[in-house]
């Protein structure tokens, strides 16, 4: 696969669940199978609940895969399994994570949480590490710009 596109989405407010749902919906509407990595079962459950309730008029079909399962027929997969399978085109890093398997995804979403100095510092460190590797196309965008410009 060609270089993966890694998008750092700027978060000015602490509302990552809502913004993640917006991105998931965008990928779902464009028929882009997506894996969402969360670090723990609590975040997986919260994201699952958000996808059921965040918009009254819509529901995004999805599944939570535990650490024992490694594939699904659903186009939206939520997992805390750090060896997430490359069965989708997109990977959303709800929680920060680095993998040598990023190149198996066409789109990778990370968040630059600029509302919190410590999280912003960690975001910058991740961006710098990925840039220094030289194998990814990196972009820093506001959420609206990302949602309006993603093309398949």
The predicted-structure confidence for 32-53, as pLDDT tens digits, reads as follows: 999 999 999 899 999 998 888 8
Q: Could you report the per-residue pLDDT of 137-151, keeping only the tens digit for each?
A: 999 998 888 888 766
CB of 78 within 8 A of CB of 47? yes
* Residue 90 confidence (pLDDT) above 60: yes
In this prediction, residue 74 carries a pLDDT of 77
Pairing of strands 4-11, 76-79: unpaired
In a domain, 57, yes or no: yes
Q: What is the pLDDT of residues 59-72, one digit of tens each?
A: 788 888 875 555 56
**Residue 77, in any domain of the structure:** yes
* Contact call for residues 35 and 84 (beta carbons, < 8 A): yes
Q: Is residue 69, in this structure, part of any structural domain at all? A: yes
Structural domain contains residue 4 = no
Length of the chain measured in residues: 152
Predicted confidence at residue 87, as pLDDT, reads 75
Global pTM? 0.90
Domains of the chain: total: 1
Here the CATH number for the domain that contains residue 49 is 3.40.50.10110
């Amino acid at each position: 696969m060609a270089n993966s596109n890694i998008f750092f989405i700027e978060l000015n407010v602490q509302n990552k669940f809502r913004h993640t749902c917006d991105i998931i919906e965008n990928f779902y509407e464009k028929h882009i199978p997506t894996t969402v990595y969360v670090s723990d079962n609590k975040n997986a459950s919260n994201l699952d609940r958000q996808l059921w309730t965040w918009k009254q008029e819509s529901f995004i079909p999805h599944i939570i895969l535990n650490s024992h399962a490694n594939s699904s027929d659903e186009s939206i997969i939520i997992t805390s399994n750090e060896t997430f399978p490359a069965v989708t085109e997109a990977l959303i890093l709800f929680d920060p994570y680095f993998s040598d398997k990023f190149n198996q995804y066409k789109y990778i979403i990370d968040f630059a949480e600029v509302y919190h100095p410590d999280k912003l510092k960690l975001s910058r460190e991740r961006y710098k590490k990925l840039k220094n590797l030289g194998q990814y196309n990196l972009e820093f965008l506001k959420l609206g710009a990302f949602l309006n410009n993603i093309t398949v």
